Amino acid sequence: MLSALATPSIAPLAAAGESVGGGCRRTVLENGLRIVTEHMPGTGAASIGVLIECGSCDEDPGESGLAHLCEHMLFQGTSNRSALQIARQMDFAGGQIGGFTTRDYTCLHAVVLADHVYYALDLIGDVLLNSTFPEDSLAREVNAILRELEGGSDVPSHRVLESLKREAWSGHALGRPIAGSPETVRRHTREDLIYFFHRNYTPNRILIAAAGDLNHDDFVADCRDAFWRLMGESARPALSPPAFVPGVAMESFPSAQTYFALGLPAPGYTHAERVDTHLLTGLLGTGYSSRLFRRLREETGLVYDVHAEYHAYAEAGMIVIEGATRPEAAEETVAIALDTWHRLAAGVEPVDAEELTGARNRLRSQHLISSGDVYTRMCRLATQELYFGHPLSGGCIPDLIASAQPARVQAEAERLAAAADQAQPWRIALLGPDLSPAAPPAAPEGKEE
């Protein structure tokens, strides 16, 4: 369970903090609040993330969208500040302050000048400790979220991906949309929000991550000042891994192209071979030399763009292939995509050293180039503390990427294929003009040519 992976002992550590390597330090306050920082001298800026172990997966079925609505309402007024004062102070900080909700967690975040760190912490502390969830603001935020849902449903690529996860993880919290549905969002009351907040926003389920030009000891003292009144404890509800439901979902949509999203079951975020899975999706569908791009763009011209990604959550993951093509070519395009995977996983066209080198270089450069950004470094700290219970050392991920060998990545492909254990294990979602339910596209037999 996520709580077992992410929640360390609440025993207080020394005020100076425990060193976890690579310039990272970690302290647990007396109330159970975890603090992790990474010193990035010379940046002149800092990013702060307050991560709450509560996302859409923590909702009961009738509460769908409540975690997202709660995050919106935190910025609508406290006993000390009105919504307008919060907005003005966010702008005055000269950076960015906001929040977002995922399936596994909610995050309140800020990027500010280094000398505005306490200012941002004080504001976020006020929001967490003193929000009043005003009734008049609730009606406005519900309407804003309804517009957000409408906007998402107008974007075919977003809509088809939501369809994929809804059908693949049918009946499980992972399959529900993060923002909920118009029906569930309209039902939420102020009392629902307050109960949900107090049920989930307890200090043993909150961590604070910061990266940038800051001092750990000073930051811990500031956090203690801002959050000392947070008290209580709550157990995160146990969530079983979802059953993966293969099959085909088709939806008619007034678009020029047919959009497709293909999903294969994969392990969750803390999977031991997660780097191999990322590399596998990289050589399959990231970059101009990837297998899917070569076959579907360069060789056949069926798509303008196609890509593959590993979507990972606490309880489960999914390999996802996405793209769009002409309506009349949808069946052929999906069949070629599935055949490309089959030939790889079956060892007909196994991973070779050259393409793995390219995938390693892309993943490693993406990791290293983004490391100069304080927000990226803060996000890594926060999610590592959440999922693993501690930050990973700075060189850990580049070393794992560099150490991957063709045989190991090939074994991961074969393991994923064997774990699915079905003739056609994929969930296929199609969205486009004049679609009606039909038999799934068949993948050609992977044979030597």
pLDDT at 324 over 70: yes
Residue 14's pLDDT is 34
CB 277 within 8 A of CB 401: no
Percent of the chain at pLDDT > 70 equals: 91
- Cα 163–Cα 168–Cα 169 angle in degrees, nearest 5: 105
> What is the average pLDDT across 75-95?
86
Segment (H or E) for 34: strand 34-39
In a domain, 440, yes or no: no
Cα-to-chain-centroid distance, residue 37:
21
Same domain, 269 and 359: yes
Same domain, 262 and 132: no
Q: Which residues of 394-423 are buried (b: 16+ CB within 10 A; e: fewer)?
A: beebbebbeebebeebbebbebbbeebeee
pLDDT at 313 over 80: yes
Residue-range definition of the domain harbouring residue 257: 247-432
Same domain, 253 and 220: no
Residue 21's pLDDT is 60
Segment (H or E) for 387: helix 374-388
Q: Tell me the average pLDDT of the chain.
A: 90
In a domain, 150, yes or no: yes
203 closest CA partner among 71, 47, 7: 7
CB 149 within 8 A of CB 412: no
Same domain, 418 and 284: yes
Same domain, 25 and 61: yes
Distance in angstroms (rounded) separating the CA atoms of residues 36 and 29: 11
pLDDT at 378 over 60: yes
On the CB side of 15, CA atoms within 13 Å amount to 7
> What is the average pLDDT across 84-106?
87
CB 90 within 8 A of CB 74: no
In a domain, 210, yes or no: yes
Lowest mean pLDDT among 243-252, 290-299, 412-421: 412-421
Contacts of residue 150, defined as CB under 8 A and 6 or more positions apart, other chains included, come to none
Cβ count within 10 A of residue 354: 11
